[in-house]
Amino acid sequence: MVSHVDVSSTLFSTVLGQNADKDALPSVLQSLSELKILQISTKSIEDWIGRINNALNSRKTRLEALCLLGLIVDQCSSEVFNQHCISWLRLLLQIFQSHNTVKTLEVACSTTSKILEQVTVFPELSRQVATELIPSIVLCLIKDSDEWLVSALQLLLSCMRYFPGPCGPIKSKLEDKVLPSLRSLDTDIAKAASECYPLLATIGGGGNAGIKHTEAWTHYFDRLLVTAHQILGSLFDGLETENYCLPTAVSINMPDVPDIEPSRTLHLTQHFDVLCACVCNMLQGPFSVVARVPLPEVVRLCCRCFTVQPYMLAGQKSTEYCILLANLYILQRAALDILSSLISSCHGNLISEGRTINQLLVQCLQSTNSETSKISQKPYSVLRTKVYTVLEKWIATVGAAAGIGSNADKLMDYIVQDCSQSQASLYGSSVKVQGFNSQQKFNLFSNSGVCGAALKVLRIMLLSCQLSPAQHKLIHEFTVSKLLQVHQHIEEPPVPYSSQDCRKNLYHVLLAQVLAPHPRWPPSLHCAVQLFRFGRQDPSSLVSSFCIEASITCAALMHPRVHSLQSSLPVVELQESTSLQSRLSMPQNVQENLVLGTSSLSSNVDLQAKHIENESIEGSSESMQMNQNSGDQYKRVRTDEISETDKKRTKVEGQIVVEQEEVIRIDTEEKEKNCIKEVDADDTEIELEWMSRRGSKEISNTEEKSLQSSENMFTEPVSKVLKEIGDQIETQQQKSEDVKEIETGEDEDNDEEEMFTSFVDIPA
């Protein structure tokens, strides 16, 4: 068997060989990355590190050596990394300072980013890199990096993120590099610059409690808002009726755009999209100090993007308005991205702007609504999908505080419309045209994205919002009818439910109805069970697996397998002779007392039976006779006197508390063991009464037989404990002056079951 050392040697030699095929380099690197050879065996890693360092000095093998260095950084141990990190960064700095191919410089930027990310784990190493190498690397990236600007910006991002302090002295140079890149028409460059822009506020010293970083964040954020408003003013010139007050900040210098259409509108639209990406990154990016977000200004910017609607531009014949109509969805989608980021970062602080947000989303759905055929893709499907996604996040974040109750009817109408299919898709695509049978072209997955997003909103509305009974009824009828139609055409589901995601989301809405029904509208539990049973036969594993889970959930709701643990029940170690099932089968009041942790017969238990409250209490001085033939299980326990605390309590309440005798009947062996082991006999007064007939002082032969038959249910330890209790009771009876005797029972014809119908209520 070939060892890992041999495999690594062969592969490394293949990559660094003189006749190496560069087309095979990606395959070899992928194999090395998958096998984790350097992580498994480090025997010859030092030799290969020396060979890679030498290869970095040669222009012929520099690219391959950089690729292998990236693998070593990922897989080497901490000791190896700590030993060679500084030398690697110095070699990479030499590569940036010398003339190399664009591909080599891009790979060098990627490898340097990996090293800087790992350096932050080692404090001493991080300080050395920050003072010796970071300023030189940043200066090399700022100069002469136009050909590999995307990679240079990505490496600058790592430098500003992991070493913000050393970047402070050259902050102005970094700003001059990042801001012009925002104006680039290359989408990759503009995207990389939009990721670097939020970090400009974090570099340098933060001052007392980070006040300088907070002020810098506000400064850069206001510049974005002002510039975005200026671009919208240029695009919507002559179409707006409201004047917007811009924040008092300096705008970002944007390049001059051509006056000729369509270049003018296209450039302005792209610049606005990049600025909105910067706003999203500033709202979502990590920030070490408090950032003050101007919520009204951000919401106002989003609303301004929707002041111009498609119907306002549809009747215009000028080229400018036609180009604006074609790119209007880009502006509105960017505004929805800002709103989504605002919800993710601010959460409940947006409740004050909830009414405006709801109106904005509903207005967007209304303006993009279309009555075209459901077989073909609807217009503005991307924008409507984004609206539903933002709406789902908004409701899931703040719940019922979103306040969509006033707009719930409109939302449900749009959702039902987007989730419905045409009759042609139900009964086939064959239609008759002028007496001939022709086939109609349609897409099986048309509008599936809009439908899936709308169903998610419907589900979250059921779970989080307060809907009316009529709305619950509408959702119920819609969901059940659509599922029945899907089941009737399971082999060829109707559009858009040809998509497995749409079918799965539809079943998810049905489960939400079961879990969160309205009090005045019956839940569709039994109907859902049958529908989920059909769904388990769906050809898609995604749908069938969800239906299996939903079926189990419904079954657990209808027929719980075991009793649930009470919230007040602590985790206790059960005795060897006590099973969990016997404990759960006890009455609730008995369970709560047994868990108190007492170990004897009673702990602060007041034995008062409800069935003898109205019985007459007769005083008697006779001592109670224990029948030895009936066993030691049933004995009478008399209380001699009432404690001083009870007397004081009765005087305050104005009541005379008379201790009453009680009968404890133990039906099973487990209950008897639990009661004797768990209840403390020293702290509580317990009365064990023997059931007898009224007016009779001896037990009849029939009763003796029944009691004798029940004697076998008790174990020997129980009898011993009860015998000891009986002995104590007899000594107390000799000292007492009055013995109260309670006689309970019914007619002489009562059978054994009626004799043992009185249980002990142990209050919590």
Highest mean pLDDT among 148-162, 509-523, 689-703: 148-162
Q: How confident is the model at residue 539 (pLDDT cuts 50, 70, 90)?
A: very high
CB atoms within 10 A of CB 489: 15
Q: Residue 625: pLDDT above 50? A: no
Q: What percent of the chain has pLDDT over 90?
A: 42
Q: DSSP string covering 263-329, please?
A: HHHHHHHHHHHHHHHHHHHHHHS--SS-----HHHHHHHHHHTTSS-HHHHHT--SHHHHHHHHHHH
For residue 455, report the phi and psi dihedrals to the nearest 5 degrees. -65, -35
Instruction: Kindly state the tokens that stand for 588.
Output: 């609730």
Query: Over the chain, what is the mean pLDDT?
Result: 75
pLDDT tens, 136-169? 999 999 987 788 999 999 999 999 999 998 998 9
Instruction: Kindly state the tokens that stand for 184.
Output: 């680039």
Instruction: Kindly state the tokens that stand for 522.
Output: 């019956």
Q: How confident is the model at residue 723 (pLDDT cuts 50, 70, 90)?
A: low
Distance, CA of 228 to CA of 273 (rounded, Å): 9
Which residue has better confidence, 343 or 57? 343
Handedness of CA 339, 342, 348, 354 (dihedral sign): negative
Highest mean pLDDT among 22-36, 337-351, 697-711, 712-726: 337-351
Contact at 8 Å (CB) between 707 and 626? no
Q: What is the pLDDT of residue 370?
A: 79
Please give the average per-residue pLDDT across 587-599, as a whole number. Answer: 41
Distance, CA of 548 to CA of 544 (rounded, Å): 6
Q: Residue 412: pLDDT above 80? A: yes
Q: Lowest mean pLDDT: which of 198-202, 205-209, 457-461, 627-631?
A: 627-631
What sections of 516-605 are H helices per DSSP? 525-535, 541-558, 580-585, 588-594
For residue 344, report the phi and psi dihedrals to the nearest 5 degrees. -65, -35
CB atoms within 10 A of CB 79: 9
Q: Lowest mean pLDDT: which of 65-79, 268-282, 445-459, 675-689?
A: 675-689
With both helix axes pointing from N to C terminus, report the angle between 123-132 and 78-97 in degrees, rounded to the nearest 10. 10
Which residue has better confidence, 429 or 133? 133
Smallest CA-to-CA distance from 231 within 316, 334, 367 is with 334
CB atoms within 10 A of CB 486: 23
Q: How confident is the model at residue 549 (pLDDT cuts 50, 70, 90)?
A: very high
Distance, CA of 305 to CA of 332 (rounded, Å): 6
Q: Lowest mean pLDDT: which of 33-37, 465-469, 555-559?
A: 33-37
